Structures are given as structure tokens and as C-alpha cells.
């Protein structure tokens, strides 16, 4: 074989020769016999033909071979799809917990209030604007010792709570029990065995903060002097807020007749509100204490500062 460096470049005489005898460049090989094919070339051609015959027929088939995944890749794909599905389920749960449970609970609480007021007459609202949440109401008549519901009457929805600090339209039913069937649906739950509204001792109520109606979501906004009003078929009871404290969930003595002192003999009429703390957690409990200031029998009508609110709640405003 001649290398590129050994080949002679054509000179002028060669070019003239080709112009005079152009046919000389081509020889008639028709008379020549075909050259025999060597054994090695024949074997190579056979291998090439067999390789072509065995190759995939189409480009799609070749792509399928290239896309074949290893077991590890399949595992990663499956795990990824499961994580995406779990994330979507979690988002749906959060939406249900923080949004739909509030809507559902509000509907059921409205039904409970409607049922309560079907048996409790409410005078029409008095004229005049309502004072602010922390203002002191005018001094009224002395109605003597408050009427108190018997423990046997503390069943179902037996009262309504009004807390102006939480909004001028805040009214929640008070229902016996603190199980999920009550707290998740019917507003404030009354701890069994604690006092009735107006009774000496401690009436203890529980409610959710961020779910199921957000009954006590704003409990941390109470300030000393705020009024909390409870209504039953026997009258209206006004409590004055004093203070809050944070305790662990197992500190149940906060609902004792004398909070945190179960052995003491009660002399005051106390209202205790309990809820989870912090707002989006349940590691602690926030406790709000109030002391009863006054009461009014049903025939005297609601306290003037909540008269319009009571009328609206009863559907007569």
C-alpha cells in the first residue's frame, strides 16, 4: 500500500498527456476475469449479513431496548409516585380539618341554637348601642340569689355563651359533655360534674380553637374586665374575666370547685374556659378564669349590652 507522503503529484507533462489521450485513463476490463474473493472477505460479508438479519426491525424497537429500566429505577419511580399520592392526601386532610370542619360545625351549632330557643322565650332587643367589649354595664336591679339549673337538667344543649370580645355576633351553644361528638359539632362542652351557671363552685367549659367551629380561637385576646354572658332557661349570668394560665394537659385540677385547690371549699361562682394551646397544637392547655358579677331572670330580659345580640341569635332581631 502506498502512503500519502510517497505519491507523486502530477506535473505539466502529465496533464498534457491526459488531454491528448483521454481514453488512456480507462482500460477495457470487460475481457478481464473477475478477481477471486478471499476467504476472509467472504467470512466478513457473511457476518455482516447475519448481524443485519438479527438487528431490531424498527427504530421504535431499538428505543424500547434503550428504555428498559433497572430494578433500582423501578423502585425509585414507585416510591416517588407513592410520595406524591401521600402529599395530595395530606393536603386534602388539612383542607378538611381547617376548613370543612368549621363549616360543618357552624351548621350544627345553628341547629342546636334553634332548638334551644324554641323552648326559651326572648324579649325583643332594647334600643341603644351596645357598649364595647370591656366596658362596665350599668348597675341594674338586685335580683337576689341566682336561679340554678339542677344537675339533672344539664343535658343536651342547655345554654348559650355570649363573649363580646370575640365579636358582636359571637354566640355559641353550651352542651353537656366534652366528648368528640359534642366538641366537634356542638360548640362549648360542659365538663360533667362541674357547677351549673350561677352556682357556687366552678362551671367549666371546653372548646376547640382552630377546628370544628373555632369556638375558643380568640381566648388569648381576653383582657381583665371583659364580660362573658351565659344564658339558660332560668336567666342570664354575667361573669367578669380575671386571668389566664397555661398548664399541661394532665393538670385537671383547674376544673375543681376551687381551681388548682381540689380540697378547698368553694365560696365563689367561677367560670373556667379551657382550650388547646398553642393555636395550632395541643401540647398544652390555656385556661381562662372569670368570676360571676350578676344575674337576671328571664322575665327581666337580657343585659342591655347584649340584648340585640341575644335577639339576633334567637332569630328575632
Q: Which three cell numbers stand for residue 241?
A: 374575666
From 213, 216, 224, select the one nearest 274 (Cα to Cα).
216
Residue 190 is among the residues annotated as catalytic for this protein: no
How large is the C-alpha radius of gyration of the chain?
A: 45
Instruction: Spot the catalytic one: 190, 208, 212, 220.
Output: 208
Cα dihedral 136, 171, 243, 285 in deg (nearest 10): 180
CB 296 within 8 A of CB 235: yes
Residue 208 is among the residues annotated as catalytic for this protein: yes
Using the structure block, give the residue that is written with the C-alpha cell 457476518: 47
Distance CA 162, CA 229 (A): 5
Please identify every residue annotated as catalytic: 208, 276
Amino acid at each position: 500500500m502506498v502512503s500519502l507522503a510517497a505519491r507523486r503529484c502530477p506535473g505539466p507533462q502529465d496533464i498534457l498527456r491526459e488531454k491528448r489521450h483521454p481514453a488512456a485513463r480507462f482500460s477495457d476490463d470487460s475481457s478481464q476475469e473477475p478477481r477471486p474473493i478471499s476467504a476472509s472477505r467472504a467470512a466478513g460479508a457473511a457476518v455482516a449479513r447475519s448481524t443485519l438479519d438479527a438487528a431490531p426491525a424498527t427504530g421504535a424497537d431499538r428505543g424500547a431496548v434503550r428504555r428498559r429500566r433497572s430494578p433500582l429505577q423501578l423502585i425509585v419511580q414507585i416510591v416517588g409516585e407513592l410520595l406524591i399520592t401521600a402529599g395530595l392526601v395530606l393536603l386534602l386532610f388539612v383542607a378538611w380539618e381547617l376548613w370543612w370542619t368549621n363549616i360543618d360545625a357552624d351548621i350544627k351549632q345553628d341547629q342546636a341554637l334553634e332548638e334551644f330557643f324554641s323552648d326559651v322565650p326572648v324579649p325583643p332587643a332594647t334600643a341603644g348601642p351596645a357598649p364595647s367589649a370591656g366596658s362596665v354595664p350599668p348597675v341594674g336591679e338586685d335580683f337576689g340569689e341566682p336561679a340554678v339549673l339542677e344537675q339533672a337538667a344539664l343535658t343536651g344543649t342547655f345554654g348559650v355563651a355570649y363573649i363580646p370580645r370575640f365579636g358582636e355576633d359571637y354566640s355559641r351553644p353550651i352542651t353537656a359533655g366534652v366528648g368528640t361528638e359534642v366538641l366537634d359539632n356542638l360548640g362549648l362542652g360542659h365538663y360533667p360534674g362541674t357547677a351549673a351557671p350561677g352556682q357556687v363552685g366552678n362551671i367549666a367549659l371546653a372548646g376547640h380553637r382552630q377546628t370544628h367551629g373555632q369556638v375558643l380561637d380568640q381566648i388569648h385576646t381576653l383582657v381583665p374586665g371583659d364580660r362573658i354572658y351565659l344564658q339558660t332557661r332560668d336567666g342570664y349570668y354575667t361573669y367578669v374575666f380575671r386571668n389566664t394560665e397555661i398548664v399541661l394537659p394532665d393538670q385537671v385540677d383547674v376544673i375543681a370547685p376551687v381551681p388548682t385547690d381540689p380540697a378547698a371549699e368553694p365560696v365563689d361562682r367561677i367560670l373556667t374556659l379551657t382550650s388547646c394551646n398553642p393555636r395550632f397544637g395541643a401540647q398544652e392547655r390555656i385556661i381562662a378564669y372569670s368570676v360571676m358579677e350578676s344575674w337576671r331572670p328571664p322575665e327581666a330580659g337580657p343585659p342591655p349590652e347584649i340584648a340585640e345580640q341575644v335577639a339576633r341569635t334567637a332569630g328575632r332581631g
